[in-house]
Structure 1
């Protein structure tokens, strides 16, 4: 097996449990920095028509936080 194939296989094996493991190993710090990053961007661009593209988003954790923030802004 070539090196690239080994890397792909490794990522495929850890993908199903990555978010849970990240949350546990970081003691939830991953959620905190995502929320802070989102709040920072929202505060910088609050008065503009903000469109966000989460490119190469991995497991999609960040987009959930963007959605929560957008819903809060609509209220």
Structure 2
């Protein structure tokens, strides 16, 4: 079954946010290479967490695609 427009947009948004997080991780990794060992290790720990969060967002996007997650329609007052 094809996705509704709101669900298509939700999936695109989730994937775009995940991509932005991953790009930020690459930038932070470059920055970490210029830091002292202790600071670099701390920053790379944060980068690892951000990569995990990006993976979760991609998983949510997959759940939107399969219909497990959907955007509710707006209710009028």
Higher RCO, 1 or 2 (CA under 8 Å, sep at least 6)? Answer: 2
TM range (shorter): 0.3 to 0.5
TM-score by length of 1: 0.36
More helix by share: 2
Larger Rg: 2
TM-score by length of 2: 0.35
